[in-house]
Amino acid sequence: MSRVDAAIAAARAEGRGALIGYLPIGYPDLPTSIEAAVALAEGGADVLELGPPYSDPVMDGPVIQEATQAALAAGFRLRDLFPAIREITSRVDVPVLVMSYWNPVLQYGVDRYADDLLAAGGAGLITPDITPEAADAWIAASRRTGLDRIFLAAPTSTDERLDLVIENSTGFVYTVSTMGITGERAQLDAAARTLVERLRARGEALGLGVNACVGIGVSNAAQVAGVVEYADGAIVGTALVRALREGGVPRLRELAGELRAGTVHSGK
């Protein structure tokens, strides 16, 4: 059982879903982003998801794009990522995942990236723009290092695609709630619930357990509560970035607590 598996299992044992919180590393500056990640963990996140700023963030909505562009303008470079993770993991006992577009990993060197992430105390990598059949080098590196590899499943995924994702993902499957870019939405698509049901059914057919965590559009405690009725965890990003932007680390910590309260299953 990986550290991410263990965090999700621990939440389940407490009668709740897992809260996975995303922040761009380096925003608004590197030291503050480290303090923000620590506050997010201390405030209630079960798993941290840190995004290195990237010059072509095709999946990110406007709030996260603005934050990552600000981080790049402030001087963030990929070499800053691993020391930041090392400091965060030395201060909180929460698994830290990196959510990265594939090109920076490829340019850095897949094995080198995996080794440096492991040495920094990182738990794994979420790769939104690479599919399992194109990720042989990363699958091999993650198996060698024990890092989690988390692929995405979308409502449009075929059963064959879901099988590939389930067979090659560890930790959890990043279950995309709706088609499109990240951001806050007033109402989550019903497709998310159907997709989780499909993932569970395909996993059962394969004889594999599946942790399905739902992201994209989850922005408040009520939505978190709705998601964990049927999924293993809820992923929140844009709302946390907005809180950091508008109220600094104190507001971020406060929102983390509010979201954590939403993870408790009804009747518990």
CA distance 265 to 230: 10
**133 a catalytic residue:** no
Selecting among 49, 116, 148, 163, the annotated active-site residue is 49
Contact between 101 and 56 (Cβ < 8 Å) = yes
**49 a catalytic residue:** yes
Q: What architecture does CATH give domain 3-260?
A: Alpha-Beta Barrel (3.20)
pLDDT digits (tens, 9 = 90+) for 172-187: 999 987 644 344 444 5
pLDDT digits (tens, 9 = 90+) for 126-164: 999 999 999 999 999 999 999 999 999 998 899 999 999
Structure tokens at 214: 């739902």
Give the ranges where 16-98 is alpha helix by DSSP (H): 30-43, 62-73, 81-91
| Intra-chain end-to-end CA distance of the chain, in Å | 26
Decide: pTM greater than 0.75.
yes
Selecting among 60, 116, 148, 232, the annotated active-site residue is 60
pLDDT at 181: 39
* Domain range annotation of the chain: 3-260
CA distance 218 to 237: 8
Does residue 239 register a pLDDT over 70? yes
pLDDT at 44: 97
Structure tokens at 250: 């104190």
